[in-house]
Amino acid sequence: MASIRTRRGSNMLFVDFYYMGIRCRETTNLTDTPANRKKLEKVIEKMEAEIILGLFNYAKYFPKSDKAAEMVALNDRKECINTNTPSFEQFAKLWFSEKEIEWRDTYKRKIKEIIDMYLIVKFGTKPIHLIKKTDVLAFRSSLAKVTYGKSNKHLSAARINSIMVPLGMILKEAAKRYQFDSPYYDINALKQPKTDIQPFTLNEVWTFINGVRADYRNYYLVRFFTGMRTSEIDGLTWENIDFDRREIVIKQAYVKGKIVPPKTQESYRAIQMSPWVYDALKEQQTITYGRSDYVFCAHTGEPLDYNNVNKRVWHPTLKILGLKKRNAYQSRHTAATLWLAAGESPEWIASQMGHSTTKMLFNTYSRYVPNMTRQDGSAFEALVNRSQITQVSTAKETSQ
């Protein structure tokens, strides 16, 4: 039986009771008066009934208690033992150990980070079969309130979805193994805004290439005219440059300081060199070949640090040249839109970009799609040639 007491020198009531074989003493915010004792007796009566029925929620009655988290965990462990089911943390770790063989290192790190930073923190010791749909939805809502960085930005819908994906996979697998209804049923991903496309015009491309630091001219020319991802061009090595076939072979990427396989199976590809890319790589060969395995590298011979390059080269160049501020990934979007504007075949463009089908091409760049008839890259070459002739003519007229 629980008792109501006061501590020596204090006029505040506290409850002295046993829960799961442990003596607990919790102070209330009630002063010692006959009315408050009567009020507390009714609370205790309800507590004891819930303890007997196994419905007692320690944290609900004593949310500020240091013992609350300990008791919740203890109760969770008892439930796991009684029902022979694991806690969320136990099953999440088991699930990860079984699945990691299927993933590349970068994806493994991403999933483990999500599990450790978000999922275990939230669901930890809770028996996995007791997680309800309302718990999952409440967790997703809480993610929308998370802020980061100096500007206190909120997590994007894309980031929240990426956190929810492994949670859904874990819960669905656990539901199959331990035969309970998955709480993730009928929970859809948050709607994400369309990819922000801010491609350069061809004149802007040449303005940037001709205005950027000389030691980065080749780097950005290749980016703009191949549509390579940052990780692909930063991880590009000389062994994957085939000058005879005029191809850049994509077999690897540089991600978070490591050489890893390309993003998707379709990302393994051979990109055709346009004449300007061929000339830029030939010039680059005289600069870094033999000094580094990497086509574009730092003065130490190591791969470029894209954060450093963005900060010291990309953004300052845009500002100096009076070009609209945008991220460097727009160079990839620029290549796609220029190919489309030139009338290249969608299938050819998709293969150059590393897309499995043309669906993503049309979904992302639909407003840049004209009548397409070419299939071999020659229309794009003609478009660039015309722009160069125009620029030269304009420059001559200005000088006269």
> Which domains, from first to last, does the chain contain?
3-61 (no CATH), 88-178 (1.10.150.130), 202-399 (1.10.443.10)
Give the pLDDT score at 400.
61
Residue 373: its pLDDT value, please?
A: 47
Look at residue 398 in the predicted model and tell me its pLDDT. 63
Condensed to tens digits (0 to 9), the pLDDT of residues 266-318 reads 899 999 999 999 999 999 999 999 999 999 999 999 999 999 999 999 999 99
Give me the pLDDT at residue 53, please.
Answer: 80
pLDDT of residue 64: 84
* pLDDT, position 148: 78
Task: Spell out, as residue ranges, where the chain has pLDDT lower than 50.
Answer: 371-374
Helix/strand/coil (H/E/C) assignment for every residue in the chain = CCEEEECCCCCEEEEEEEECCEEEEEEEEEECCHHHHHHHHHHHHHHHHHHHHCCCCHHHHCCCCCCHHHHHHHHHHHHHHHHCCCEHHHHHHHHHHHHHHHCCHHHHHHHHHHHHHHHHHHHCCCEHHHCCHHHHHHHHHHHCCCEECCCCEECCHHHHHHHHHHHHHHHHHHHHHHCCCCCCCCCCCCCCCCCCCCCCCHHHHHHHHHHCCHHHHHHHHHHHHHCCCHHHHHCCEHHHEECCCCEEEECCEEECCEEECCCCHHHCEEEECCHHHHHHHHHHHHHHECCECECCECCCCCECCHHHHHHHHHHHHHHHHCCCCCCCCHHHHHHHHHHHHHCCCHHHHHHHHCCCCCHHHHHHHHHHCCCCCCCCCHHHHHHHHHHHHHHHHHHHHHHC
Distance CA 396, CA 400 (A): 6
So what's the pLDDT on residue 121? 92
| Buried-state track 43-55, b at ≥16 Cβ within 10 A, e below 16 | ebeebeeebeeee
What pLDDT was estimated at residue 399?
62
